[in-house]
Amino acid sequence: MRIAMISMHTSPIEQPGSGDAGGMNVYVINVARQLARQGVDVDIYTRATRPSQGEIVEVEPRLRVINIVAGPYEGLSKEELPTQMVAFTGGLVQFVKCHGLHYDLIHSHYWLSGQVGWLLRDLWGLPLVHTAHTLAAVKNQYRSGDDTQESEARRICEQQLVDNADVLVVNTEQEARDLIRHYDADPSHIQVVSPGADTELFTPGSDRNTERSRRELGIPLHAKVVAFVGRLQKFKGPDVLIRAAAELFRRDPERNLRVIICGGPSGADASSESYHALVRELGMSCHVRFLQPRPPEELVSIYRAADIVAVPSYNESFGLVALEAQASGTPVVAARVGGLPIAVAEGETGELVEGHSAAAWADALARLLDDDDTRIAMGEAAVHHAARFSWAASASLLRDIYQQALAIEVPDCHQRHAAGA
């Protein structure tokens, strides 16, 4: 089986946590690796963002990333990428033709790639599997009051994909319900595949590992540490954690607490300065440390160094950071939104918070920070909980879905014309 995966707006081999690289990048590269190891040939098509990348990147046997030139390498925001969809599709088609490639199926990720996949589906007569990862209607429903609203144009494009994709793969049952509620999706077209975590990389380690991680990060060994890992954008809620930490210090100025925020700016307001300014405004400069995005093999040190990982997003289709943290033996305090109630076992591996008020988040953080026995027990349980999710299992389910999709008869142009007539 040979699969054409499309991830137009962000490369799966880019550093997660900055720009437009995030959980979707982690998802795509990990399921692609596991599919390749299970005998599926996978080519991932993405837009080239620098000439040094090369056209073809051999990731491992059976897995390649193909960089398609479409528009300038730099300077294009995600919001401007629709202007390059024709150029990207043309470059992709040309690459396939020049290399004599034939695919069995297309799997697109995110709505921009979905629009490309929809065209290729009709051009090549192949089944289209689509994974949205996020949905405009859901993001608009849960966004903070001062966050930018997703465009109606995006929502319309997503509706077209729901209407035309042969299979819609989602992370959770909640996401399936969102598709049905907001986009009138046919339930028979939806398949649920839970994401996983790299449980060989993300492990608890020993007390010595934790001490070393803190020394490397310059964190006092006896401080309590709360970490945020992700892109610095309003939808991810880093300001929620900052305000909650300030509330904890307002209640107890002597609290020995450090906050780590690891990630880079993303989105229309792509700057971290507003978060630095908020820290200064709240008098938290001595207690909050900002770190640049880290590759997974370094990120595990941050998870191990933390007593709690906070995930205050306004919505998450699943919450990979929460799963990675738990695999590393760290309990999670997360917002009760999207797939986070599945990623976090409430009361066993962490806590879920209703809403995003500083007071509610301060209460939840304080309960675990001040109860060492419960927090340590949750960290131990978290490792076992995370072990239930693996990328190999996710890929195996996807492979089964692909096999079923191959039986779908995609009408060619003559059939579609006859049907329209």
Binding residues for 1D-myo-inositol 3-phosphate are 9, 20-25, 78, 110, 134, 154
Query: Which tokens hold the place of 161?
Result: 């994909």
- What does the alpha-carbon distance between residue 352 and residue 139 come to, in Å, rounded to a whole number? 19
- What does the alpha-carbon distance between residue 320 and residue 326 come to, in Å, rounded to a whole number? 10
| 80 touches 268 (CB < 8 A) | no
| 232 touches 266 (CB < 8 A) | yes
- What does the alpha-carbon distance between residue 312 and residue 294 come to, in Å, rounded to a whole number? 20
Residues in binding site:
9, 15-16, 20-25, 78, 110, 134, 154, 231, 236, 294, 303-304, 306, 316, 324, 330
| 116 touches 89 (CB < 8 A) | yes
* CA nearest neighbour of 134 among 59, 34, 233: 233
- What does the alpha-carbon distance between residue 13 and residue 30 come to, in Å, rounded to a whole number? 10
- Burial bucket for residue 320 (CB in 10 Å: 0-12, 13-18, 19+): buried
Phi, psi of 164 (to 5 degrees): -120, -20
* CA nearest neighbour of 225 among 254, 260, 275, 251: 260
Residues in binding site for Mg(2+):
303-304, 306, 330
> What contacts 350, CB < 8 A, 6 or more positions away?
308, 322, 326, 331, 332, 333, 334, 344, 368, 378, 382
| 106 touches 126 (CB < 8 A) | yes
Residues in binding site for UDP-N-acetyl-alpha-D-glucosamine:
15-16, 23, 231, 236, 294, 316, 324
